[in-house]
Amino acid sequence: MIINRSFSSSLSNKERFGSLKSLVLLVVIAILATSNTYAQASFETIDGLRYLIDSDAKTATLTANVGEKYSGDIVVPEKVKASDGVEYPVTAFGDNAFKECGGLKSVTIPSSVTSLGESCFRGCSGLTSITIPSSVTSLGDNCFCCCIKFKSVEVPSSVLSMGSGCFENCKNLVSAKIEAQIGRLNMTFADCYKLEKIELPQTITSLDNGCFNRCYGLTSFIVPNTVESLGSSVFAACTNLSYIEIPNSVKRIGMTCFGECKSLTSITLPLYLEDLSYYCFTQCENLKEVKCLAMVPPTGSQLSLPTGCKIYVPKSVLDSYKTSSTWQDFPIFALDNSGTGVAQCEIPTINYDNGTIKVFSATPNSVCHYSISCDDVTTNNITYDGNIYLSAAYNISAYATADGYEPSDNATATLYWVEANLQNTTTNINQTATRGIIVTSNDGIVTLSGLNNDETVRFYTVDGKQLGAAKAVNGTASQAVSESVVIAKMGNQTIKIVVK
């Protein structure tokens, strides 16, 4: 205040008078500008409908009827003649234009209209349907919210913007076809209890918060392959949703996204999923399995999976999931190559090397279970000719188990004891001994192990026709055969083999 007084006192009377004239002039200009603005936009009621006439923009906007709600069947014209005698095109329905007009039965929207404002038809409980012309490019927030008699809706491809909750609480809406060229939906169909069928455009990249919350009529849903994120509570309380298909484009799934989906028993999470938010599956009490195809375990916490729910992941990254803080507390299993079931452990191989029978499965951290039987084992048997006959063979079977895998199928092999002619290098005298040869057959491939390196094995039919020969590498030789029984010959020793 002191500064202002000092400044004022320093002015001459002429200067003060000049400043005062300038101030008055500014006030007059402001008043004239304001008056001009109101002159350019005024409300008029024409044929029972109230419009905001913008004489500068040369447009008319349909607005709410002051003091009385619209009712009956209304046909909005493309143009209206204002009190100035000029015709103005009706280009918009303003915010709240028909809000809570319960007596409204139908509205014809002219092709001149390009936008429907916020809550434009909200609570029009008597309105059974609406046709949105292809001239419309935007729908405001809650535009058709609580239009409880709607059974189907179509949004044309001309629409480039849809506000939040556009069809929220349309309790009897059964089907919706959205061709709008939009990128996201937010609360759009929340509380549409009877919604069964929904068609979405290929421009959608995000289904946002509560988009289909409490849509009890939804039993299945295929997320468009353009969608990258599912927001919070998108499918929450969709209690009859039993099938959902999530494309690999989805990277994020929001909090309580599937909360209370009580009919959901199985769900497959996509390949490029990165993040799962809190309580993603809360109260999904019948969820039995979650298949996660992501090669890197998605991050998240407090997923709220029900007790006993099993996690299935690609077998090559099983250990990564088991050590992930997000997943390690759940029972985790490896998916098979088809991605539809639990992977089995690799079938063990059985071979004989340097006097040792070796059993091995390629599945990480697996253990092998084996059984050995021999036809020579007998107790209190009888011989009538005084001779005891030995088969000199052991039957071996083995299977593998590992945490997160189904047990493998059985591998079978036979260990034969055959003569081995060994030459004593000191006396140069041949000595007779025995050696073990293990024989396995699978899918028409006969394999012998326990051989000497470079030893040749010849294979014959039972009637003596040679089928082929194989030279042992690292003590093993194999031959593909089509016969059910073959003879393998190593030097003077022969083994009869039943091919499996």
CATH of the domain at 256: 3.80.10.10
Looking at the fold, whether 293 and 394 belong to one and the same domain comes out as no
Looking at the fold, whether 333 and 367 belong to one and the same domain comes out as no
pLDDT of 341 over the 90 cut = no
Mean pLDDT of 203-207: 97
Handedness of CA 355, 359, 362, 363 (dihedral sign): negative
| Segment among 146-160, 282-296, 316-330, 368-382 with least mean pLDDT | 368-382
pLDDT of 44 over the 90 cut = yes
Where is pLDDT greater, at 383 or 313?
A: 313
Euclidean distance between CA atoms 293 and 280, whole angstroms: 17
Do residues 201 and 180 touch, judged by C-beta distance below 8 A?
yes
Q: What value does the mean pLDDT of the chain take?
A: 89
**Chain centre distance of CA 235:** 13
Looking at the fold, whether 166 and 266 belong to one and the same domain comes out as no
Last residue of a domain, one of 150, 173, 196: 173
Beta strands 206-207; 289-292: pairing state: unpaired
Q: Per the domain annotation, does 27 fall within a domain?
A: no
Q: Per the domain annotation, does 220 fall within a domain?
A: yes
Q: Per the domain annotation, does 194 fall within a domain?
A: no
pLDDT of 3 over the 90 cut = no
Looking at the fold, whether 49 and 150 belong to one and the same domain comes out as yes
Mean pLDDT of 212-239: 98
Beta strands 59-62; 49-54: pairing state: antiparallel
Looking at the fold, whether 368 and 442 belong to one and the same domain comes out as yes
Looking at the fold, whether 125 and 238 belong to one and the same domain comes out as no
**Chain centre distance of CA 492:** 64
pLDDT band for position 420 (cuts 50, 70, 90): low
**Alpha-carbon dihedral of residues 139, 143, 145, 149, nearest 10 degrees?**
-90
Looking at the fold, whether 227 and 103 belong to one and the same domain comes out as no
Q: Per the domain annotation, does 353 fall within a domain?
A: yes
Q: Per the domain annotation, does 12 fall within a domain?
A: no
Last residue of a domain, one of 123, 153, 173: 173
Q: Which residue range forms the structural domain that includes residue 92?
A: 40-173
pLDDT at 498: 87
Beta strands 367-374; 393-401: pairing state: antiparallel
Q: Per the domain annotation, does 196 fall within a domain?
A: no
pLDDT band for position 36 (cuts 50, 70, 90): very low
User: What is this structure's pTM?
Assistant: 0.76
| Structural domains in the chain (count) | 3
Q: Per the domain annotation, does 120 fall within a domain?
A: yes
Looking at the fold, whether 311 and 363 belong to one and the same domain comes out as no
Residue showing tokens 């004489």: 55
| Segment among 83-87, 100-104, 388-392, 462-466 with least mean pLDDT | 388-392
pLDDT at 443: 85
3-state secondary structure of 6: helix
* φ, ψ dihedrals at 26, nearest 5°: -65, -40
**Chain centre distance of CA 46:** 53
pLDDT band for position 487 (cuts 50, 70, 90): very high
Looking at the fold, whether 80 and 168 belong to one and the same domain comes out as yes
Euclidean distance between CA atoms 375 and 390, whole angstroms: 8
Q: Per the domain annotation, does 14 fall within a domain?
A: no
Looking at the fold, whether 287 and 312 belong to one and the same domain comes out as yes
Euclidean distance between CA atoms 299 and 164, whole angstroms: 29
Mean pLDDT of 311-335: 94
pLDDT band for position 421 (cuts 50, 70, 90): low
Q: Dump pLDDT digits (tens) for 436-461.
A: 899 998 888 999 999 988 999 999 99
Looking at the fold, whether 154 and 47 belong to one and the same domain comes out as yes
| Segment among 139-143, 219-223, 335-339 with least mean pLDDT | 335-339
